[in-house]
Amino acid sequence: MKPNGHPIVVNGRNYKAPERPTVVICLDGSEPGYIERAIDAGVAPTFARFMKDGAHVHATSVIPSFTNPNNLSIITGRPPSVHGIAGNYFYDTANDAEVMMNDPKFLRAPTILAGVHDAGFKVAAVTAKDKLRTLLSHGLDYASGRAIAFSSEKANQATKADNGIDNVLDFVGLPLPEVYSAGLSEFVFAAGVKLVRHHRPDLMYLSTTDYIQHKVGLGTRIANDFYAMIDGYLAQLDELGCNIVATADHGMNDKYLPDGKPDVLYLQDVMDGWAGKGETRVILPITDPYVAHHGALGSFATIYTRPGRSVDRLLGQLRGMTGIDLALTRDDACARFELPADRIGDIVVISSKHKVLGTSRDRHDLSGLTEPLRSHGGLTEERVPVIANRKIALPPGHALRNFDAFDVALNRVQ
Ligand code: ZN
Ligand code: ZN
């Protein structure tokens, strides 16, 4: 409860005020099994203890099972139809431009973090990549002295005015990590522990990057080392008396052929063949400036067609293709996945477990793919873990979503 005894209301959902430091964590790309395999290898005793004495359940992510839509859903407690972020890119038909959605001006809902901050509490957010920090920290007032938000990527550039903290590298005690590294995520946790020790935020959000999960599968030495690293920081946060709830933005699957080459369906080439060149535009909302680890290839695409053009024939053809799990009209996709209709094309296409969708073959630079492709975006990456260090009480039959994480952390911990 707030000092006046009322719950904090954000986007129509009620949250109890934090009674002890509460930490919500998004373990980017944590396909179910990564943590279990690290436990089996004997390197994740804290996770093992949380899952035994606290809570471990599965939830579903937002579709597209990409990073930004899910992080924004987690921090607003609502699907993309409410917060507006349906991917990294959408096509602005009025201006004939592909627009990147990593600016807070595209965000249509306040965050739970800002709501709790506005109610008078101390909050903090640490992300791996800076593009996410700008969205997740939207609405925080650093002049209040009760808000801190920065990214590992640009930790060296943090200022009191823009981040509520400066000299972050000295504070965390680690050098600035490489963007493509496990160190980018380790810095998030190291910073989180320091923040709890020295600033004691009432509510904190930590969000890592899926560099490791794109690179290697469950149970590999590299993956186990990564979760062992996280495990050590979780032990410290637990020791500091935090309520901890960890979930993921999406899972991760192999997306390559027996010869190790990515299994890609180049959708723009297919569309050009069926409808004629210039008749359709395929948008891949996974595209972002950091494509080296996935080549902008994921299992979700949206297709814009000329205004007034019927999509029935294209839908029928798409549904007949192997490797396509779903082809839906905009209306059906927005109803089923709670997406913002003005940021989705006329058709939504989702590929199968081991297949990814591209635009045209010549538009993808796959030279950065040093490992067989692993990626996400589809229905086959929507199952994610929810793990807490204390027992949680869920209403019977509740279909848990990853964006219930703050509700679990603030309202459901016993
Ligand atoms: Zn992600
Ligand atoms: Zn990813």
Tell me the DSSP string of 370-381.
-S--EE--SGGG
Cα(273) to ligand 1 centroid in Å equals 32
Residue 164 burial class via C-beta count within 10 angstroms: exposed 0-12, middle 13-18, buried 19 and up:
buried
Q: What is the pLDDT of residues 104-121, one digit of tens each?
A: 999 999 999 999 999 999
Q: What is the pLDDT of residue 1?
A: 44
Sheet holding 203-207, edge to edge: 55-60, 383-388, 243-247, 22-26, 203-207, 123-127, 147-151
* Residue 312: other Cβ atoms inside 10 A: 9
Q: What is the pLDDT of residue 290?
A: 66
Cα(313) to ligand 2 centroid in Å equals 32
Specify the fold of 8-252+377-412: Alkaline Phosphatase, subunit A (3.40.720)
Cα(119) to ligand 2 centroid in Å equals 34
| Dihedrals phi, psi of 143, to nearest 5 degrees | -65, -20
Domain 264-375 has CATH 3.30.1360.110: yes
What are the beta bridge partners of residue 23?
204, 244
Cα(296) to ligand 2 centroid in Å equals 9
Cα(70) to ligand 1 centroid in Å equals 8
Cα(278) to ligand 1 centroid in Å equals 32
Q: What is the pLDDT of residue 308?
A: 86
Q: How far is CA 214 from CA 63, 124, 230, 314, 375, in A?
A: 18, 27, 17, 31, 6
Cα(394) to ligand 1 centroid in Å equals 26
Cα(362) to ligand 1 centroid in Å equals 25
Q: What is the pLDDT of residue 363?
A: 87
Q: Of the bound ligands, which one is closest to the alpha carbon of residue 375?
A: 2
d(CA 171, CA 165): 9
**pTM for this one?**
0.97
Q: What is the pLDDT of residue 291?
A: 63
Reported as type and span, the H/E element at residue 260 is none
Q: SS3 for 25-61, per residue?
A: EECCCCCCCHHHHHHHCCCCHHHHHHHHHCEEEEEEC
Cα(181) to ligand 2 centroid in Å equals 13
| Dihedrals phi, psi of 180, to nearest 5 degrees | -95, 85
Q: Which amino acid is at 2?
A: K
Question: What residue spans define the domains of the chain?
Answer: 8-252+377-412, 264-375
Angle, alpha carbons 11-16-17 (nearest 5°): 105
What region does 216 belong to: left with phi over 0, alpha with psi -120 to 50, or beta?
Answer: beta
Q: Of the bound ligands, which one is closest to the alpha carbon of residue 28?
A: 1
Q: Of the bound ligands, which one is closest to the alpha carbon of residue 69?
A: 1
Q: What is the pLDDT of residue 296?
A: 87
Q: What is the pLDDT of residue 365?
A: 82
Q: How far is CA 185 from CA 51, 218, 232, 412, in A?
A: 22, 18, 13, 27
Q: Of the bound ligands, which one is closest to the alpha carbon of residue 209?
A: 1
- Go through 22-42 and write b for each residue having 16 or more CB atoms within 10 A of its CB, e for each that does not: bbbbbbbbbbebbbbbbbebe
Q: What is the pLDDT of residue 364?
A: 85
Residue segments in the chain with a per-residue pLDDT below the cut of 50: 1
Q: Which residues place a Cβ less than 5 A from the ion ligand 1?
A: 28-29, 67, 210, 249
Q: What is the sign of the dihedral through the CA atoms of 269, 271, 273 and 277?
A: negative
Q: Of the bound ligands, which one is closest to the alpha carbon of residue 67?
A: 1
**Of 360, 354, 414, 405, the residue nearest 380 (C-alpha):** 354
Cα(264) to ligand 1 centroid in Å equals 20
Same fold, 8-252+377-412 and 264-375: no
